[in-house]
A and B are shown apart, each in its own frame.
Chain A
Amino acid sequence: MKLPTNRPAWLTLERLAKLPAKLAGRLPRFPDEIRLPIPEPVRKSMPVFMRTTTFKLAMLYSLMIAAFSGALLAYLYYSTVYYIRVESERRITVEFEQLANAYYTGGMQRLSQSVFERMTLSGSPFYYYLEDTSGRKIAGHFPRLPDDPPESGMKTVYFDFELPQTDGTKVLRPAAGRIVRLKDNGGALMVAFDTAQQTVIVDRIQSAILVAAPVALILSLLGGVLITRGAARRAEELAKTAEAVIGGELSRRVPVRGTGDEFDRLAQRINAMLDQIGKLVEASQNTGNAIAHDLRSPLTRLRNRLELALASPMTEQDASNTLGETVEEVDRVLDTFNAILRLARLDAGTEGLRVRMDLSEVAEELAELFDPACEEAGLTFRSQIARNQLVLGDRELIGQAISNLIDNAIKYTPQGGSISLSVTRGADAMIDLTVLDTGPGIPAGDRSKVIERFHRMDSARTQPGSGLGLSLVQSVAELHGGELVLADGNGPPDRPGLRATLRLPRA
C-alpha cells in the first residue's frame, strides 16, 4: 500500500509510525538482544581420566584404605614382636629365679650342678654360661660370654652364636640373654633364650605384610573405581541431558532411577528446572504468535483508516472524529497488548502470590461491585456464596478472573436476562465458582476454541475487549492448579446460556 503523494510534507512515514506512541504512551522496552552464555570447552592439560571425579574419588578411597590397612598391619607387627619379647623376658626371669634359688641354698657348687642338669635337658630353649671370679668357664654352651658381665645387677644382651650341629657344621643362631654378676662371689651367670623361632615368626609377618600391602592397595583402587563409577555414570547422564538441551532438544529429561538418592533428587530438580524453562520458552513463543495474530490486523486497520483520512479532504469536524476513533483503536490495541503480556507472564508461572485467602470474600466483593452495573444493564444479578471457602492464591488475579467471567456474562446476556454468581464446595477437594447467564451460550464444539488464545467468536467482533478474557481465566485457573469448565446453562436448547465454572483446589 502506498501513501498518497499529495500528503503534507511534515507527515513522513516515521512520524506516522510514531503516532500511537505519541498519543498513548510508550510500550515497554525489551533488551535488544538476549545472549546466552555458551560454555567454552574445558582446556585439556591433564589426561581426561585424571580430571574426572571418579579418578579423584578412587584415589582418595584407595589412599584411605591403604592408610587404614597399613596402620592395621603395623599394629599387628609391633604387638606380635612386643608380645614375643615380653614372653621370653618372662621365661628368662623364671629361669633365673630357679638358678638363684640353687645358688643361695648351695653356693657355687649347687649352681654349677644345676646348670649342668639344665643343659642336659632336651628340648629346652635356654642356653647357659657360668664362669668363676677369674673369668674362667665353669659350664655353658658357649666358649665365652658374648659381653662383659655388669659390675653389679643384671644386663640384657642380644647376640648371635654358632650352634654346632650333629653333622659337625655350625649354624649361626640369634639369642637374647641376661648376664648377672653373682653376689659374694664375683662369678657371672648368663641365661639366654634362643630367639630363632621368634625371628622366624617376625620374618613371616614382615613378608606377609610386604605381599599384602600392594595387594590391598590394588584391591582398594579397584574398589574405589567400582564404587565411584556408579556416581560417575549418573553425572555423565546429567551432562548428556544438558548437552541435548543445549542442542535444542528441550524435551529431554534426566532419567530418575527412583532410588531417592541425591542423584535422583538432583535429577528431579534439574527436570523441574527444564520444565520451567520449557514453559517460559513456550510462553514467549505464544506471545510472539499472539502479537503477530492479534496486533497485526488492528494495526493494519488503523493504518488504512489513517491513509484514507490523509487521501480524502475533510472538514475539521471529520478530522477530529477520525482522530478520536484512532485514539480509541490504539487504546484497544494497547489493551490487547497488555492482555497478551499478562497472559505470557501467567503462563510462565512467575506471576502471582500463593497465600491462603478467602475465595468467598473475594466473590462477595465482586458481587457487590458488579451488582449495580448488572441492574443498570437490565439484568437480574443473584449471588449465592458459601462462606469461608479458602484457596491458596493471589487475590488480585482471582478477582480479575471472576471479573472477566462476570464481564463476559454481562456482554452476552440480553436485557431482561439474569446472571448468577455462586461459590460452592465442589467434588475432589475443589471449590467451584460458577457464573451462570441466560445468554446464547457457547456450542459444545466451540468451547475449547473460546478458551484458546486469540480466538474470538465472530459474533463478538463488535464487542469491546481483547477477546482474551476467558483465556486469562483459564490461565489463572491453571496457575492455581484448577481449571475452567464451560457448560450449557439452564435455558432452552436454542438459548441455553453459559455456565462457566472456575474450579480451584481447596486450601
Chain B
Amino acid sequence: MADTLHHRALKVLVIEDDNEMASFIEKVLEDAGHEVECARDGAAGLARARAEDFDALVVDRMLPEKDGLTLIREFRDAGGTTPALFLSALGDVQNKVQGLKAGAEDYLGKPFVPAELAARVEALGRRQTSEPQVTSLKAGDLEMNLLTRKVTRAGKKIDLQPREFRLLEYLMRHAGQVVTRTMLLEKVWDYNFDPQTNVIDVHVSRLRSKIDKEFSEPLLLTVRGAGYRLQG
C-alpha cells in the first residue's frame, strides 16, 4: 500500500489503552512500513512524545491518566511540533472540531478502514518535509504553477476546472502517497460526511482523463481498497 521503496519508514507513536485496538493499529502501520511504538495511557504517552522525536502521533481520545485532548494541548503548549492524528470513537463533526482545536492535525473516527489510517499517517508524517510556501508543484513530468494556475504535462497545457485544480493540487502535494476518498472530500470539498454514492471516484476519473489520457505512462493510479496515488 504505502510506498516503502521511495520513503524512509516513519517513526510513529501510538497512544491507545485498548490492547486489541493498539495491536491492530500497530499491525496496520507496520504493514505500511512504519516503525511503531505503543503507549498505554495518556501520561506515559505524553512522556514518550516529549522524550523522543517521532514523525507522527496517533492518539486515542478516551485514555486513562490523561485524556487525549489534554495530552495534545499540553504537548503543544510545551512546544511539541510532532504532527498528531486523533483516532477516536467520538467521530462526529463536533468532536473533530474539538480535536483540531486542541492542536491535532487530523482526526479519524473509529471504526476506520485500515488503508484510511495508513494513508492519513503517511500524509501526516510527510507533512513536515513538504514546503508550504512553494509557488509550483511537480510530479513526474506534470507541473503546476500555483500563481498563474497553469498546469502542464510534458510541456503540454492542461485545462482544469477550479475544483479539478484543487483536487490535483492536493494530490500533487501528497505525490507518492495514498490518498483516500474521505481525505479528498475533507480537504478538497471541505465536507466531513460520507456520501453513499461514490462521488469522489467520478471526479478523480475525470481528472485522470485530463492528465493521463494522451500519455503512455499513467500518473494517477487507483490503489485498490484504499484510494488514489499520484506518482511522484
Q: Using CB atoms and an 8 Å cutoff, list the residues of chain A in contact with chain B.
A: 18, 21-22, 24-29, 331, 334, 338, 341-342, 345, 351, 365, 368-370, 372-373, 375-377, 396-397, 399-400, 403, 406-407, 410-411, 464-465, 469
Residue of B nearest to A401 (CB): B193
Q: Are A18 and B20 within 8 A (Cβ)?
A: yes
Would you call A372 and B203 a contact (CB within 8 A)? yes
In the assembled complex, which residues on chain B have CB atoms less than 8 Å from the CB atom of A411?
A: 196-197
> Could you tell me if B195 and A407 are in contact, using CB atoms closer than 8 angstroms?
yes
Nearest A residue to B109 via CB reads A338
Contact among A24, A342, A369 with B111 in the assembled complex (CB-CB below 8 Å): A24
Contact yes or no, A25 B189, CB < 8 A:
no
Total A-B residue contacts, Cβ distance less than 8 Å: 77
The answer, among A331, A369, A397, A465, for a CB contact under 8 Å with B196, is A465
Which residue in chain B gives the minimum CB-CB distance to A341?
A: B92
- CB within 8 Å of A: which of B195-223? 195-199, 201-203, 206
| Contact A396 B192, beta carbon cutoff 8 Å | yes
B20 contacts across to A, CB distance below 8 A: 18, 21-22
B54 CB, min distance to chain A CBs, angstroms = 23
- Contact in complex: B202, A22 (CB < 8 Å): no
Chain A residues lying within 8 Å of B189, measured Cβ to Cβ, are 365, 369
Q: Closest Cβ of chain A: how far from B48's Cβ, in Å?
A: 22
Does the CB pair A25–B111 fall under 8 Å? Answer: yes
Q: Check A26/B195 contact, CB under 8 A, given A331-B111, A365-B189, A372-B202.
A: no
Give the interface of B toward A (CB within 8 A): 18, 20-21, 24, 62, 89-94, 109-112, 163, 189, 191-193, 195-199, 201-203, 206
Contact call A396/B163, Cβ cutoff below 8 A: no
Asked if A396 meets B199 with Cβ closer than 8 Å, knowing A26-B18, A27-B89, A338-B91, the reply is: no
Partner of A28 from B90, B112, B163, B197 at Cβ < 8 Å: B90
Q: A369-B203, A397-B93 are in contact. List 4 more A-B contacts (CB 8 A).
A: A21-B20, A373-B199, A403-B193, A407-B195
- A209 to chain B minimum Cβ distance, whole angstroms, is 71
A410:B193 contact, CB within 8 angstroms: no
Are the CB atoms of B193 and A464 closer together than 8 Å?
A: no
Instruction: Knowing A351-B94, A375-B202, say if A26 contacts B193 (CB, 8 Å).
Output: no
Cross-chain contact B91 with A370 (CB below 8 angstroms): no
Q: Are the CB atoms of A26 and B197 closer together than 8 Å? A: no
- The reply to whether B192 and A464 form a contact with Cβ atoms under 8 Å apart is no
Tell me the minimal C-beta distance from B186 to chain A in angstroms.
Answer: 11
B89 contacts which of A25, A396, A397 (Cβ < 8 Å)? Answer: A25
Complex Cα distance, B94 from A403, in Å, reads 19
Closest chain B residue to A24, Cβ basis: B111
Contact A29 B62 (CB under 8 A): yes
Knowing A18-B20, A372-B202, A376-B202 touch, does A396 contact B193 (C-beta < 8 A)?
A: yes
Q: Which of B92, B93, B192, B199 contacts A369, CB < 8 Å?
A: B199
How far is it, in angstroms, between the C-alpha of A299 and the C-alpha of B108 when the chains are bound?
Answer: 25
Contact between chains at A396 and B191 (CB < 8 Å): yes
Q: Which of A341, A368, A406 contacts B197 (CB 8 A)?
A: A406
CB-nearest residue of chain B to A27: B89
| Distance of A39 Cα from B179 Cα, bound (Å) | 55
Question: Would you mind naming 9 contact pairs between A and B with Cβ atoms under 8 Å apart?
Answer: A18-B20, A25-B21, A26-B18, A27-B89, A27-B110, A334-B111, A369-B203, A373-B197, A376-B202
- A345 and B92 contacting across the interface, CB-CB below 8 Å: yes
Q: 3 closest Cβ contacts across the A-B interface? A: A25-B111, A25-B110, A372-B202
CB-defined contacts of B110 to chain A, threshold 8 Å: 25-27
Q: How far is the CB of A440 from chain B (nearest CB, A)?
A: 18
Query: How far does the Cβ of A240 sit from chain B's closest Cβ, in whole Å?
Result: 37
Contacts of A21 in B (CB 8 A): 20
Q: How far is the CA of A406 from the CA of B195 in the complex (A)?
A: 9
Could you tell me the distance between the alpha carbons of A407 and B193 in the complex, rounded to whole angstroms?
12
